[in-house]
Structure 1
Amino acid sequence: MQKDAYTLILEAIDAGVYRPGDRLVESELAERFGVSRTPVREALQRLETQSMLARDGRSLIVASLDHNQLAELYVVRAELEALAARLAAKHAAPEEVRVLQDMVEEDRKHVGDPVALSRANKRFHKQIHLASHNRYLVQQLDLVHRSMALVATTSLAAEGRGETALAEHQAIVDAIRNGDEDGAAMALQAHISKAFETRLKLDAANGRQRRG
């Protein structure tokens, strides 16, 4: 099935092809994706209404999140992800648990490569969402993770964060495997909290560097 312009642009933002602050030009997008300008124009309008894009004069740029928006996003993400882990502990099939375990082990080879680890991290979390067996929760988490694409850097870029994050992933999988609903929810919430804390430290350090 051929992807529409909206999906193509959204995936490009999610993959970091277009980063917060980058200008999106209708003609360039049409050429890149091999589509006409009309669906690109409609896609850009749709992304603007969803706050994925912002106006900069007459131009459209990829939106960025300020400190308060980031904090609000992490609050919602922590609660929804914790619910997904809780439901996964209750409903996940043994095969789904094995897939999660395989992901943790496979992702160890990406430690030291923040970009690859970030992609692997998204796959891992998506697998937990699916293991919750709740389509409405999956839809809401898709929206949350779409907004996460507006964060310029990954918290996994912090020194030592990759190994720690994988240990946290293992704790989540263990709780899901054991059917420990409370434990799974608490482990995932702690994981998100640590990611947010790491991101705040990275942002603070980057801010100091820019001012210095």
Structure 2
Amino acid sequence: MNRTHSNQKDAYHLVLEAIDVGVFKPGDRLVESDLAERFGVSRTPIREALQRLETQSLLERDGRSLIVASLDHNQMAELYVVRSELEGLAASLAARHATEEEIKVLREMVEADDALVDDPPALSRANRRFHEQIHLASHNRYLVQQLDLVHRTMALMATTSLAAQGRGEIAQAEHKTIVEAIAARDEEAAGRALKDHISVAFVTRLKQDADERERS
């Protein structure tokens, strides 16, 4: 029984991670047998993992098949509204509760990530780690859980806003502003800086989508 539970958990996180890093993109069809062979697990935990991902709206039905879900314009806008509010709250709480060690880690992350501005996929992964560190520094488990779901849903966007020309450098500067506000224990400034950061990312993504529509 414990082994089955472990396999189910492993299968779920294996598929989720593959979606998160872009191995499976919006519209890709997921087949139980292929996934079982790919990840080296039986089909039962894969089936249960797919069902769980479907209930979380990360997968959707296409006839009898399951495909990686995609977000339309309205869904994306709704997601960014929620993300902005939750991320802003996390930054405010981090300014109140973060330990000096956590602030040190945030600063070191930003400094290290400066080397990734010309590598959008790597910078995107680092960006997620940075935001997750702020979530943890909020010291609010319920907020962390909600933000985890938001960030999983962000994986349904086929591209990262950090791929836009010059966005990497701007995002890094915004990250530094956020960290300094947290370090100064300025809850209002930290929340505002992170919400501004999300707003700029949203504008960038809207421009990317407009350019994509023009090319198609």
Q: Which amino acid aligns with 1:72?
A: E
Q: Which of 22, 40, 55 is the equivalent residue of 1:34?
A: 40
Equivalent residue, structure 2, for 1:155: 161
Q: Percent identity?
A: 73
2:86 counterpart of 1:88: no
2:17 counterpart of 1:11: yes
TM-score (norm 2): 0.95
Q: Which of 187, 191, 197 is the equivalent residue of 1:185?
A: 191
Deviation at 1:154, TM superposition (A): 0.2
Determine the C-alpha separation between the residues in 2 that align with 1:80 and 1:35. 36
Deviation at 1:130, TM superposition (A): 0.2
Q: Once superposed, what is the RMSD of the aligned Cα atoms?
A: 1.0
Equivalent residue, structure 2, for 1:170: 176
Bigger Cα displacement from structure 2, 39-48 vs 121-130: 39-48
Q: Which of 98, 114, 117 is the equivalent residue of 2:120?
A: 114
Q: Which amino acid aligns with 1:122?
A: R
Q: Which amino acid aligns with 1:158?
A: A
Determine the C-alpha separation between the residues in 1 that align with 2:133 and 2:21. 18
Deviation at 1:46, TM superposition (A): 1.3
Q: How does 1:125-136 map to 2 (within 5 A)?
A: 125-136=131-142
Q: Which amino acid aligns with 1:161?
A: R
2:99 counterpart of 1:61: no
Equivalent residue, structure 1, for 2:104: 98
TM-score (norm 1): 0.97
Structure 1: where are the runs of 5+ without partners? none
Deviation at 1:195, TM superposition (A): 0.2
Equivalent residue, structure 1, for 2:78: 72
Deviation at 1:29, TM superposition (A): 0.4
What do residues 150-203 of structure 1 show as CA deviations (whole Å, max 9, x unaligned)? 111000000000000000000000000000000000000000000000000000
Determine the C-alpha separation between the residues in 2 that align with 1:161 and 1:38. 43
Determine the C-alpha separation between the residues in 2 that align with 1:15 and 1:69. 21
Tell me the matched-pair count: 210
